[in-house]
Chains A and B, each alone.
Chain A
Amino acid sequence: MGASNPVDAWHLSDDPKVTIAAENIRLRYTVQRSERRSPLRRSSRSSVTGPVLRGVSLAAREGEMVGLVGLNGSGKSSLLRVLAGLQPATSGTVVASAQPQLLGVSAALVPDLSGEDNIWLGTLAMGMSPDDAYFAKERIEQLAGLGDAIRQPMRTYSSGMGARLRFAISVAADPEILMIDEALATGDASFGERSKEAMHDLITRAGTVFLVSHAAKTIEEMCTRALWLDRGLLVADGPAEEVAALYRYYAHSLAQNKTDAAAGAIARAQDSFPPIALGAEEQ
């Protein structure tokens, strides 16, 4: 396989390059039904399938901070998992300029090891040499800001502390594409400020950040662009402030059972900020 792009050709130019592109991603889930599960009779009736993503196309370029909004179950996390290559899509293509680093809500890395040892292990896992890892360690500890808790086993950490540590490790690796799935929601205010700085630093160095958050306000404040997912379809793709504001109005209307107002908000978003829907059109 010929490596056609020399490493040095990559630079932050005036016209930013595309870092990740996805075309017509479809994803169906298949769950084995719990009752009458016999391996000998695995007929089509014994499993349930349903669509999660129904043809999503998008592209992001360097220097962008993309927020994903949508109700629970609209497919935000699934989309990130597919974009990161962790979950193969049922159909569709994802291409990227680098391996995306996904930061999700998950358990401790190695629960019995201390935070320090987990930093060491994580940085080495990403391919740092021991020298680099040694210098990165201090930066990570500072960014995570866990104090003395860094020396305690990670299984004693609260979910917020675990998220901080994992975020700090991921950012220290300087990924070109970072995807954050609700992981920052558990952090406190002081950490929110520091993580915001770290992410801005990342995108000024030609990175792309994807951020999933249920709080549309976070998206409004932090992102440059927002995608609105509704039941597996991309509804809107536009400036973060406006899309997120429309989404907030939509969610607010739903909460008060004003379905007409909610439908109006969706329609307005769709009209004003249509997503690029090349592959997904009429398919």
Chain B
Amino acid sequence: MTRTPKRPETRGLRSQWRRAWSTRQAGDALLSAPMRSELQDRYGSLSHLRRVGSRPPLREYATELWDRRHFIWAGARGEALTKYSNERLGMGWFILRPILDAAFYWVIFGLLLRLGETSSNYVAFILVGVFMFQLTSHAITGGATLIRSSKPMIRAFAFPRAALAASLVLRELFVAFPAMGVMFIALMAIPPHELPTASWSFFPVLLALHTAMNLGFALLFGWLGSLLPDLAQAMSFATRFLMYGSAVIFPIERFIEHPTALAIIEANPIYLVLDMYRTALIDGGAPPASQWLSLLLWTAGLLTVGFALFWRDEERYGRE
């Protein structure tokens, strides 16, 4: 297979589509002999025909997806900006909601239960857990209903459907940026104050890996959700289960003694990434190399499996 030359944008959509189309399964051989000869007699060569509804090969799919990067960006931006458009306070909720969340945990665990001043800053533990877990839980619940909620777009336009998953993850990231700002301010403001250290510089790297992992989750659950529409009903349970299984609001080591159960939880990628965030932001240390390695493996694995499965069923998503 030869590498396709760089796409001449000036030649318009038609030639671009035609080039993409030419990678699909050849179609004239699929017609029966009498039909083929009849058509050839009437209209000449049929070699330009391709089978309709076939998915492109994986590599071409990736190229087409890359061509839709502006679409992914615009979709994520547009939907993030209109998330609170029905609310009276509008964009204010981007800041207000995380502030309310943070205040809630501070009042309950910091003021009432007085867990903040224990040796491991418990309020900070919860804040990092809850705020960063939201990214993954939204990717999973959004993924489960991804195909269903994007039906009008899918029906109207032909584009690699994986773009929808990418758009979803990016949108959640946009929405989470103000929340992360609130989280950092809360970490510094709520006693015992966690002040920025050099280890905070691990945060962007962690966030990038975390986002890639979320894309893997969104693709995987997008595929699962289209296969099994009932999944959407189970999602609230699944995220609750993940929340307790990933030590989002309480440190799991204190309650679980069984070594196997503990090992399973510690291998869980969401626990892993939350633990690394906490090491970097609260303990002021560098996450150990073994954790980086497992996170990298999880991210690569989820992305590969999610993308391959999602691509495999590409033809099915348009179905009623």
Contact = CB atoms under 8 A, between A and B. Distances in A.
Interface in B37-59: 38-39, 42-54, 57
B48 A10 contact: yes
A199 to B, nearest CB: 16
Contact of B35 (A1, A21, A99, A128): A21
Nearest to B319: A87
A57 interface: yes
Contacts of A99: 17, 21, 52, 158
A21 B318 contact: no
Contact of B23 (A1, A15, A110): A1
Interface in A162-178: 166, 169-170, 173-176
Given A98-B17, A112-B85, A279-B32, A127 B67 contact: yes
A170 B13 CA distance: 12
A18 B39 contact: yes
B148 to A, nearest CB: 12
A256 interface: no
Interface in A83-126: 83-88, 93-104, 106-110, 112-113, 117, 120-122, 124-126
Contacts of B3: none
Given A96-B50, A174-B13, A23 B156 contact: no
A248 interface: no
B75 A121 contact: yes
A96 B68 CA distance: 23
Contacts of B44: 15, 17
Contacts of B51: 93-95
Contacts of B20: 127
B238 interface: no
A121 B73 CA distance: 9
Contact of A122 (B17, B38, B157, B320): B157
B320 A87 contact: yes
A113 B153 CA distance: 13
Interface in A46-67: 57, 59, 61
A34 interface: no
A93 B31 contact: yes
A276 B159 CA distance: 33
B159 A127 contact: yes
Interface in B135-194: 151-153, 155-159, 163
A153 interface: yes
Contact of B48 (A5, A85, A125): A5
B239 interface: no
Contacts of A59: 39, 42-43
A87 B318 CA distance: 7
B34 interface: yes
Contacts of A3: 19, 22-23
Nearest to A3: B22
A174 B52 contact: no
B1 interface: yes
B138 to A, nearest CB: 17
A44 interface: no
Contacts, number: 195
B23 to A, nearest CB: 6
A16 interface: yes
Contacts of B74: 117, 120-121, 124
B49 A97 contact: yes
Contacts of A138: none
B82 A112 contact: yes
A201 to B, nearest CB: 14
Contacts of A113: 78-79, 82
Nearest to B46: A18
A61 B48 CA distance: 12
Interface stretch (A129-137, A187-195, A214-222, A260-268): A129-137
A179 B288 CA distance: 58
A5 B319 CA distance: 30
Given A94-B52, A121-B74, A129-B70, A276 B38 contact: yes
Contacts of B89: none
Contact of A17 (B23, B45, B79, B318): B45
A100 B318 CA distance: 13
A149 interface: no
A117 B78 contact: yes
B257 interface: no
Contacts of A106: 151-152, 155-156
The 5 closest A-B pairs by CB, nearest first: A85-B53, A95-B27, A124-B71, A85-B52, A95-B49
Interface of B: 1, 9, 12-28, 30-32, 34-35, 38-39, 42-54, 57, 64, 67-68, 70-71, 74-75, 78-79, 82, 85-86, 151-153, 155-159, 163, 315-316, 318-320
26 contacts: A1-B24, A4-B47, A7-B18, A10-B48, A18-B43, A18-B49, A23-B32, A57-B35, A86-B319, A88-B315, A95-B50, A96-B50, A98-B14, A98-B17, A99-B52, A100-B52, A106-B151, A107-B151, A117-B78, A121-B74, A127-B16, A127-B64, A130-B70, A133-B70, A174-B12, A279-B31
Given A17-B43, A88-B315, 13 more contacts: A1-B25, A9-B48, A15-B43, A15-B44, A21-B46, A23-B31, A87-B318, A95-B51, A98-B17, A113-B78, A124-B70, A126-B158, A176-B17
